Amino acid sequence: MCAVWGTSVVVLLALVGNAYGDSNPEARAEYDEGRRLYDAGKHLDAAARFERAYEIEADPVYLFNIGQAYRLAVICTKALDAYRRYLEQAPAAPNRAAVEAHQQELAGCAPEPQPEPAPLPTPAGPEPEGGRSGNGLRIAGLVTIGGGAVAMLAGGYFAYQVRRDESDREDLFRAPNNTYDEGAAREIDDRGARHQKWMIAGLATGGALIVGGVVLYLVGGASERAPSVSIVPTQGGVFATWASKL
């Protein structure tokens, strides 16, 4: 932290006094209040009043006053900025050497502390492993049951075809005038055997898938309802809690 020199109030007042000829009354009122605060050692409040006066009336003299107030408040960056703008707008200022000396003095001044950023919100914790696995098992169970239903429908279709094959063979035996066609009967038998094999495969596969899907669904539901136990040490022993989803 750099050492801060005492301010020459005489220079401050003299400079502002030079601007009073055509001074805006509202700006003059802001300056008067700023000078009162400055004399009372309330340099930040004084700087705010001087800045308000400059907003009302852009007289570079107010920039010097702003720099002085911020310098004594040890707000180095704002003091340097006010001094820089003052010399840009009043390059022939009679106190230029003093202002440049203040700038050199503040060049090594540590920057004012920045406010700490607000803490980020804590993200929600991960879903318990049991909940994730339980949901997955239930979904897998429903998909498996759906596949089993499709297989059962296919088995039912081929059962219908087997019934038709039997009906076609009976029609051959009832043919008039002993016109039994042995070749047609053999074809019906072969077709019926294929249909019967596919019927059995469809019904067996569908039944197995439905049973397996129901088991997966029930296991998933039981996993979601698995109890959770927490144990907290206490002075006299431990405190245990048990919770379960119904």
Q: List, for residues 132-147, the tens digit of each pLDDT value.
A: 667 888 898 889 999 9
Which residues have CB under 8 Å from 3's CB, separation 6+? 105
**CATH code: domain of residue 21:** 1.25.40.10
Q: Which residue has the higher pLDDT, 171 or 231?
A: 171
- Domain check: are 93 and 138 in the same one? no
pTM, 2 dp: 0.41
Q: Is residue 195 part of a domain?
A: yes
Q: Is residue 30 part of a domain?
A: yes
- Asked which of 107, 140, 160 is the last residue of a domain, the reply is 107
As beta bridge partners, residue 230 has 241
- Asked which of 77, 107, 137 is the last residue of a domain, the reply is 107
Decide: 4 and 101 in contact? Cβ < 8 Å.
no
Decide: 188 and 171 in contact? Cβ < 8 Å.
no
Tokens of 20: 């009073």
**pLDDT tens column, 49-89:** 999 999 999 999 999 999 999 999 999 999 999 999 999 99
- Domain check: are 143 and 103 in the same one? no
Measured in whole angstroms, the distance separating CA 150 from the mean position of its chain's CA atoms is: 43
Give the domain range for residue 81: 9-107
- Domain check: are 160 and 219 in the same one? yes
- Domain check: are 208 and 147 in the same one? yes
- Asked which of 107, 141, 175 is the last residue of a domain, the reply is 107
